[in-house]
């Protein structure tokens, strides 16, 4: 079995027996994979601490593509997240990020851009002091774009006319104009549509320029959650998002 090394983000981990630990990781080179770290809970080295959710690590493991569980060799931090784990609000957003990625990525399919985006957003959450919600929405929109579900925000995809306000059609899965709604739809106001366009054009550094009030924030959070759960299977079950809504309410 070859010894491989890759950048990885720990998605989930749990003890296995009295002495070992299993960790599900999203890796830059191999997509999602699980490793078993034998004896790590009793060893005097600190290796067990690297295999905690949200940690961005450099992971070495023995790779056998025929096995579901790979054998952990060692790890070290690649990007230390110094404040994320000591702040309830940041922690909630961090968990929502990795849970979304966990639900979105299937198996050992590498996607370097998605990996880099996830690592970047965790770092940005870690270092930010404000507007965590805008960081998270920006991540959701970038994630949707990488998955091929970038929402249409300017022209109605049905009649190609410009939209000043929009309606998320629960049957069609797209934002459409008032003339094209059929069936039940969630309305997205002119203000919320403007913020969505700004978020789509922004990177994580320029989010402080986006201003939005409480009503628009509620509208945006609701629309993005609906849109994601329509397009990405399993997102409705993202527990961290529900926990976060309670924490932030």
CA-CA distance, 80 to 162, in Å (whole number)?
45
CB of 140 to Zn ion, least distance (A): 24
Give the nearer residue to Zn ion in terms of CB position, either 83 or 178: 178
Shortest distance in whole angstroms from residue 171 CB to Zn ion: 14
Interface with Zn ion (CB under 5 A), residue from 84, 144, 177, 224: 177
Q: Which is nearer to Zn ion, 10 or 185 (CB)?
A: 185
Smallest distance, Å, CB 183 to Zn ion? 14
* CB of 162 vs Zn ion, minimal distance in Å: 9
**Integer angstrom CA distances of residue 236 from 31, 115, 127, 239:** 22, 22, 28, 8
Does 153 bind Zn ion (CB under 5 A)? Our answer is no
Kindly state whether residue 211 participates in binding Zn ion, applying the rule CB under 5 A. Answer: no
Interface residue with Zn ion among 69, 112, 127, 159 (CB under 5 A) is 159
- Applying CB under 5 A, among 156, 195, 207, 235 the residue interacting with Zn ion is 156
Q: Which is nearer to Zn ion, 10 or 177 (CB)?
A: 177
**Choice between 110 and 157, CB closer to Zn ion:** 157
Length of the chain: 249
Query: How far is Cα 60 from Cα 30, in angstroms, rounded to an integer?
Result: 12
- Binding segment for Zn ion (CB under 5 A), chosen from 2-10, 27-35, 145-153, 177-185, is 177-185
Residue choice 158, 189, 194, 229 for contact with Zn ion (CB under 5 A):
158
180 touches Zn ion (CB under 5 A): yes
Region binding Zn ion by CB under 5 A among candidate stretches 41-49, 103-111, 118-126, 148-156? 148-156
Scanning 74-82, 176-184, 199-207, 221-229 for contacts with Zn ion by CB under 5 A, the matching segment is: 176-184
Can you give the binding site for Zn ion, defined by CB under 5 A?
156, 158-159, 177, 180
């Amino acid at each position: 079995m070859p010894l491989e090394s890759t950048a990885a983000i720990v998605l989930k981990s749990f003890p296995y027996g009295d002495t070992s630990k299993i960790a599900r990781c999203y890796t830059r080179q191999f997509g999602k994979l699980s490793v078993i770290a034998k004896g790590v809970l009793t060893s005097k080295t600190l290796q067990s601490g690297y295999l905690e959710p949200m940690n961005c690590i450099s992971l070495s493991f023995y790779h056998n593509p025929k096995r579901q569980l790979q054998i952990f060799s060692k790890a070290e931090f690649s990007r230390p997240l110094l404040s994320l784990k000591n702040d309830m609000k940041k922690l909630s957003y961090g968990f929502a990020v990795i849970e979304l990625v966990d639900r979105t990525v299937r198996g050992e399919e590498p996607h370097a851009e998605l990996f880099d985006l996830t690592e970047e957003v965790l770092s940005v959450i870690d270092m930010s002091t404000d507007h965590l919600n805008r960081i998270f929405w920006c991540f959701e929109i970038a994630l949707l774009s990488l998955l091929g579900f970038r929402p249409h925000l300017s022209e109605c995809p049905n009649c190609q006319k410009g939209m000043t306000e929009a309606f998320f059609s629960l049957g069609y899965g797209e934002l459409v104009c008032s003339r094209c709604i059929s069936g039940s739809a969630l309305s997205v106001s002119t203000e919320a549509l403007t913020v969505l366009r700004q978020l789509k054009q922004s990177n994580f550094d320029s989010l402080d320029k986006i201003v939005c009030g409480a009503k628009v924030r509620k509208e945006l959070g609701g629309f993005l959650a609906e849109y994601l759960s329509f397009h990405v299977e399993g997102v409705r079950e993202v527990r961290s998002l529900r926990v976060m809504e309670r924490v932030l309410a």
